[in-house]
């Protein structure tokens, strides 16, 4: 891909002066329309070799356009808060909201390429990174974030000359570090690996644009025009009233309409005395486990889903009762705030991810996408269909970073729900828990059961399993939740012991 | 204050069992009303001596109430991201939004008390911390955040016994550290200094509640009842339709209606050739200054205010043109988001504070409180009157943490504004810059001029001065801005040299 960026592309100063004023006005206008429209954002990745004009170009873009609607961010060494979350967290937190442009120096490409060049990672790691990146950018694109990836290229000899020139000028000497020369020594390996990565990640939805870096006039106009076109296309897509041409995905239903949840045995029940004894024991066990020094290297993410009145709140409180309040956070998931609506739907869950050694308990979760949003038609069929794999990838990032992920589906019968609704209406401090919406949701019972069954089938993975909890009996349900958490934490700490042992 | 917490307060287990169920239901109900009402929040500070039941009480509160509306946070060692901001930043970022309860272990009291006990700070430092704390909590209270400060006390002998008991039980041994005994050795000094601090910060709007920690039943009911009463009072205040009884603050106007802005000479102008030469020189100078290694220890906060079309955007762009895009952020201040509206008004500015070595440029700012909000009547007279000192305290925290704070008021004449409005309406890519609102604001010209004059008088301080910029001539205005920034940065770096020299 780089050969065409060693052709000696150039524009004369005169051509530049002729093109620039119009381009600048057009960029400003497109930027303003994007800001007004507020339905999409652009992310520009600025990558490539040292000395190829990355910094200069970004400064120019900020001068051409209105810097108040641009968020420029350079990713340097991760902070300690970043190191305690999965690697993608630092990029999620810098995503521009809809209507704005984000310019990122360094990106999710930086570490995979450098690690591979210096042989800190293997070929398989790189392949996995590529696959994940493609999925991530595809998701961004579907969510209204246009990713534009610029690679600034210089041939080997021009780069050497450029570094030498910078070094010999007292005004720019500070810009060349020992690290730059270390990298330059690996030029050929960088070339090969970068080219492989670029080829494998240059997709229809997030293409790479390789820019020859030698001639400032050429590279500036090249980047400016590409950006302009991308903004205009984004606005056109959004403006166009034409229906999307992509085919609706096929939905596979069991031909006999029998779902996994229909087959659950909900009769299981536990006597009160037995419950209290076992609950006390489990809570004490969990309390001890969380004080194990090895626990500090993990965190636990628990997701609670289930029909209204299935007992999520009660189960959560039995779980938190055994935890130190400083170590857990409970996130009630309701309607998104306007800052959250201006971002891809997973953003509002990423932002709450805990540091290590903590519990985060989501009372309802990202599964809203394939439950309420699907059933109520709040998002398109294509959107919730792709959510299954987006969610699996999200959870995969959590577990690979050491999190213990547990997802509970609390299942009650339709009759049991009715009983509980009626009871709530009669109890003083439970009245607030029952609303008209609950009754409306109840009418869609079958739709929710089908959606939940699909969800369980498509997102129960070895590392982030769904635990199906028969919840007609509250005692049984709460014990099952605690038992699952205790077992999962215990198993993980035992693995650590195994790994750390002699 | 502590004597009454060594009286041996206690409740029997029977009394506890009698009171608890009702209290619990009441707490849950009040918490729910607070969450629905969404007009105020509560912050509970949990402080006091080791072993007095702080953790147990917080866990209990989380069990009694709905943990989904409680944010519990323990302040441990500051993260690197926190260390690069003024000390209060970490507390601002954990403030609960309206409708929720925040429980903070450790608080803005922790460091001042400990530093004084171990003689890392002097008596004057402590006095200043007290004064600032009172102002901060007063502001929170006015902004709808009720602060409840609990101090858990144990006498010296009971504390020794408690630590010994914890140590001798294998299940709790881990809870007692060497640091606890180091602190215990300073018991008398802690007692004296804490008591001084508590007495000086127990205010009408944020009183301390000292809780004797020995008897679990007593302390639990004591905290629960206090919290319940506070929530109910908060809700009553908000519910009551009665007018506030506080007197409207007196506003002092110059009796001759002559304001500082009226006296500005707006005739200053610079020829284009002269402007270009001087601007180039200033930009180069600023570029070099920001690369000085000493600059990494500071940051620069620039505020731009002025009437519409005064040239704020143009001045900002001449400033950023000389900066590396990675080192600055421009914050356009418009209507707050809903997350921002759920917090005290300064919160949305705190959240954008940069790490060290960066520029943050606010295009409009916290001064909106005493400009647009005052003139348009968006907040009460009392609210904008207290804002002057709240703002001064905010900026004082910035400058003491090493920030260079510069505030620019760009002044144009009413005639010049009219000319620019008309020009904008005629220019293709400037049309979006002129709206009906601009014309409406223009009608309130005199009100804005009076408000701006008051603002300048009350908030121009030695460390964070207002720079009045005659802006009828854009060239003159932009040079003045650049000159001021260059001079301020240069002066600060020179101070560092002085301080660091032999």
CA separation for the pair B424, B308 (Å, rounded): 12
| Cβ-based contacts under 8 A for chains A and B | 112
Report whether B274 contacts B479 (CB < 8 A): no
Q: Using CB atoms, pick whichever of A68, A288, A429 lies closest to residue B332.
A: A68
CB A294 within 8 A of CB A404: no
- Spatial separation of the C-alpha atoms in residues B5 and A258, rounded to whole Å: 65
Give a yes or no: residue B376 inside a domain. Answer: yes
Chain B residues whose beta carbon lies within 8 Å of the beta carbon of residue A73: 326
Burial of A491 (0-12, 13-18, 19+ CB in 10 A): exposed
Length of chain B: 502
The CA–CA distances, whole Å, from B28 to A45, A348, B43, B146, B224 equal 49, 27, 17, 18, 11
For residue A413, give the nearest of A254, A253, A264, A270 by alpha carbon.
Answer: A264
> Which of B32, B67, B337 is opposite residue A432, by nearest beta carbon?
B32
Q: What is the pLDDT of residue A350?
A: 95
Q: For residues A314 and A276, what is the distance between their CA atoms, to the nearest angstrom?
A: 14
Region B137-143: mean pLDDT is: 92
C-alpha–C-alpha distance, residues B231 and B198, integer Å: 22
Return the closest-CA partner of residue A185 out of A110, A118, A112, A111. Answer: A118
Tell whether B355 is covered by a domain. yes
HSE-up of residue A50 (Cα within 13 Å, Cβ side) = 22
Average pLDDT, chain B: 90
Does residue B217 share a domain with residue B265? no
The residues that bridge with A47 in the sheet, in sequence order, are A151
Determine the pLDDT at residue A260.
82
pLDDT surpasses 70 at B12: yes
pLDDT in tens, B102-122: 999 999 999 999 999 999 999
Helix count and strand count (H, E) for chain B: 20, 10
CA angle A332, A333, A337 (to 5 degrees): 115
Residues contacting B40, CB < 8 A, separation 6+: B34, B98, B99, B144, B145, B146, B234, B235, B238
Best of B67, B78, B340 to disrupt the A interface by mutation (most A CBs within 10 Å)? B67
- Domain assignment of residue A251, yes or no: no
Give me the CATH number covering residue A484.
3.40.50.300
Q: Do residue A70 and residue A160 come from a single domain?
A: yes
Sign of CA dihedral A127, A129, A132, A136: negative
**Closest chain A C-alpha to B73 CA, distance in angstroms:** 6
pLDDT for residue B477 is more than 50: yes
Partner-chain contact B329 A72, CB within 8 Å: yes
Question: Is B294 in the same domain as B192?
Answer: no
> CA B134 → CA B86, B159, B349, distances in Å?
17, 29, 21
Query: What is the distance in angstroms between the CA of the first residue and the CA of the last residue of chain A?
Result: 48
Question: Do A326 and B68 count as a contact with CB atoms less than 8 A apart?
Answer: no
Give the burial class of B255: count Cβ atoms within 10 A of its Cβ; 0-12 exposed, 13-18 middle, 19 or more buried.
exposed
In chain A, residues with a C-beta closer than 8 Å to the C-beta of B291 are 174
How far apart are the C-alpha atoms of A344 and A102, rounded to whole Å?
14
Nearest to B325 among A59, A174, A291 (CB): A59
Point out which residues pair with B45 in neighbouring strands.
B104, B149
Is there a single domain that holds both residue B434 and residue B346? yes
pTM of the predicted model as reported, rounded to 2 decimal places: 0.84
Which residues in A lie closer than 8 A to residue B429 (C-beta atoms)? 25, 28-29, 32
Q: Which residue of A has its CA nearest to B81?
A: A79
Q: Give A166's contacts (C-beta < 8 A, 6+ positions apart).
A: A51, A172, A173, A175, A176
- Compute the distance between CA of residue A311 and CA of residue A308 in angstroms, rounded to an integer: 8
The per-residue pLDDT for A225 is 94
Domain boundary among B180, B207, B239: B239
Measure CB to CB from residue A338 to each of B69, B317, B338 and give the nearest one.
Answer: B338
Instruction: Say which DSSP state B212 is in.
Output: E
Low-confidence stretches of chain A (pLDDT beneath 70): 237-254, 428-433, 498-502
pLDDT value of position A482: 97
Residue A324 with chain B: CB contacts under 8 Å: 55, 59
Beta pairing class for A328-332 and B466-470: unpaired
Residue A434 and residue A326 share a domain: yes
pLDDT digits (tens, 9 = 90+) for B357-370: 899 999 999 999 99
Strands of the sheet with A208-212, listed across from one edge: A70-74, A101-105, A41-48, A145-153, A208-212
Report whether A144 contacts A40 (CB < 8 A): yes
* Contact indicator for B48, B153 with CB cutoff of 8 Å: yes
Rounded-to-integer distance, Cα A65 and Cα A44, Å = 14
> Checking phi first, is residue A119 left (phi over 0); if not, alpha (psi -120 to 50) or beta?
left
Length of chain A: 502
Last residue of a domain, one of B239, B269, B286: B239
Cα–Cα distance, B238 to B229 (Å, whole number):
14
Contact A217, A16 (CB under 8 A): yes
Q: Which residues contact B451 (CB under 8 A, 6 or more apart)?
A: B370, B371, B374, B375
Residue A477 lies in a domain: yes
Q: In A177-298, where do the E strands start and end?
A: 208-212
> Are the Cβ atoms of A337 and B337 closer than 8 angstroms?
yes
Cβ–Cβ under 8 Å, residues B95 and B344: yes
Spell B94-108 as b/e; 16+ CB within 10 A means b.
Answer: ebbbbbbbbbbbbbb
pLDDT of B501 reads: 41
pLDDT in tens, B383-395: 898 899 899 999 9
Q: Is B457 in the same domain as B355?
A: yes
The answer on A476 and A380 residing in a single domain is yes
| A460 and A383 in a common domain | yes
User: For residue B244, what are the CA distances in angstroms to B238, B248, B380?
Assistant: 11, 10, 11
Residues of B with CB below 8 A from A29's CB? 428-429
Q: Which residue of A has its CA nearest to B63?
A: A321
Residue B167, domain member (yes or no): yes
- Consecutive H or E run containing A404: strand A403-411
Q: CA A359, CA A302: separation in Å to the nearest integer?
A: 8
Which residues of chain B make contact with A71, given a CB cutoff of 8 A? 329
Residue A111 has a pLDDT of 93
Per-residue model confidence (pLDDT) at position A439: 87
Q: Is A324 in the same domain as A177?
A: no
Q: Please give the backbone phi and psi of residue B151, each rounded to the nearest 5 degrees, phi first.
A: -115, 115
Residues B229 and B307 reside in one and the same domain:
no
| Residues A325 and A441 reside in one and the same domain | yes
Q: Long-range contacts of range B176-183, CB-CB < 8 Å, 24 or more positions apart? A: B180/B50, B180/B51, B183/B50
Instruction: Answer yes or no: is A253 within a domain.
Output: no
Residues of A in contact with B103 (CB under 8 A): 325
Question: Does any domain span residue A209?
Answer: yes
**Cβ–Cβ < 8 Å for B43, B145:** yes
Rounded to an integer, what distance in angstroms lies between the CA atom of residue A99 and that of residue A400?
A: 33
CA dist., res. A137 & res. A279, Å (int): 45
Q: Is residue B369 classed as helix, strand or coil in its secondary structure?
A: helix
Domain presence at residue A248 = no
Q: What CA–CA distance (Å, rounded) separates B360 from A357?
A: 34
- Among A29, A68, A337, the residue to mutate for chain B (most B Cβ within 10 A): A68
Q: Searching chain A, which residue's CA lies closest to the CA of residue B317? A: A63
Question: What is the tally of helices (H) and strands (E) in chain A?
Answer: 20, 10
Question: What residue spans of B240-329 are helical by DSSP H?
Answer: 272-290, 312-320
Q: What is the pLDDT of residue A501?
A: 41
Backbone angles phi, psi at B421, to 5 degrees: -60, -45
Give the residue numbers spanning the domain of B432: 260-500
* Predicted confidence (pLDDT) at residue B500 exceeds the cutoff of 60: no
Number of domains in chain B: 2
> Which residues from B are below 8 Å from A429, CB to CB?
25, 28-29, 32
Q: What integer pLDDT is reported at residue A499 of this predicted model?
A: 56
In this structure, the answer to whether residues A266 and A235 fall within a common structural domain is: no
Q: How far apart are CA B351 and CA B479, in angstroms?
A: 30
Query: For position B429, what pLDDT does the model report?
Result: 60
Report helix, strand or coil for B87.
coil
């Amino acid at each position: 891909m780089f050969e065409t960026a060693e052709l000696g592309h150039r524009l004369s100063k005169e051509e530049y002066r002729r093109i620039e004023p119009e381009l600048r006005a057009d960029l400003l206008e497109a930027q303003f329309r994007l800001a007004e429209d507020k339905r999409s954002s652009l992310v520009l990745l600025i990558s490539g070799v040292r000395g190829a004009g990355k910094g200069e170009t970004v400064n120019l873009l900020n001068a051409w356009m209105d810097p108040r609607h641009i968020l420029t961010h350079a990713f340097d060494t991760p902070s300690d808060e970043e190191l305690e979350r999965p690697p993608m967290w630092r990029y999620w937190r810098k995503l521009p909201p809809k209507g704005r442009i984000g310019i990122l120096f360094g990106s999710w490409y930086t570490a995979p390429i450098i690690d591979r060049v210096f042989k800190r990672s293997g070929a398989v790691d790189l392949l996995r990174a590529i696959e994940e990146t493609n999925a991530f950018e595809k998701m961004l694109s579907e969510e209204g974030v246009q990713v534009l990836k610029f690679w600034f290229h210089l041939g080997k000899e021009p780069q050497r000359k450029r570094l030498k020139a910078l070094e010999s000028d007292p005004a720019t000497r500070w810009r060349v570090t020992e690290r730059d020369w270390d990298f330059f020594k690996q030029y050929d390996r960088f070339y090969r690996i970068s080219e492989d990565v670029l080829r494998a990640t240059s997709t229809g939805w997030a293409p790479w644009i390789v820019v020859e870096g030698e001639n400032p006039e050429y590279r500036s106009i090249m980047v400016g025009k590409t950006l302009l076109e991308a903004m205009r296309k984004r606005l056109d897509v959004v403006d166009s009233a034409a229906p999307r041409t992509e085919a609706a995905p096929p939905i596979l239903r069991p031909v006999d309409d029998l779902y996994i949840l229909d087959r659950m045995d909900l009769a299981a029940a536990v006597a009160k005395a037995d419950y209290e004894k076992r609950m006390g024991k489990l809570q004490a066990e969990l309390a001890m486990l969380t004080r194990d020094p090895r626990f500090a290297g993990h965190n636990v993410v628990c997701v609670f889903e289930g029909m209204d009145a299935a007992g999520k709140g009660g189960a959560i409180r039995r779980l938190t009762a055994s935890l130190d309040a400083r170590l857990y956070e409970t996130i009630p998931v309701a309607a998104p705030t306007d800052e959250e609506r201006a971002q891809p739907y997973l953003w509002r869950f990423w932002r709450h991810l805990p540091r290590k050694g903590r519990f985060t308990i989501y009372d309802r979760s990202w599964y809203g996408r394939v439950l309420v949003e699907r059933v109520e038609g709040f998002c398109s069929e294509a959107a919730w269909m792709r959510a299954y794999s987006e969610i699996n990838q999200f959870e995969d990032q959590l577990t690979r970073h050491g999190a213990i992920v547990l997802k509970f589906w609390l299942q009650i019968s339709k009759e049991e729900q009715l009983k509980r609704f009626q009871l709530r209406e009669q109890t003083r401090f439970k009245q607030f828990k029952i609303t008209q919406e609950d009754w409306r949701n109840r009418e869609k019972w079958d739709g929710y059961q089908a959606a939940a069954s699909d969800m369980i089938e498509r997102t129960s993975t070895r590392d982030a399993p769904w635990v199906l909890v028969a919840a007609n009996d509250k005692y049984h349900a709460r014990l099952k939740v605690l038992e699952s958490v205790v077992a999962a934490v215990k198993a993980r700490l035992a693995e650590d012991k195994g790994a750390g042992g002699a």
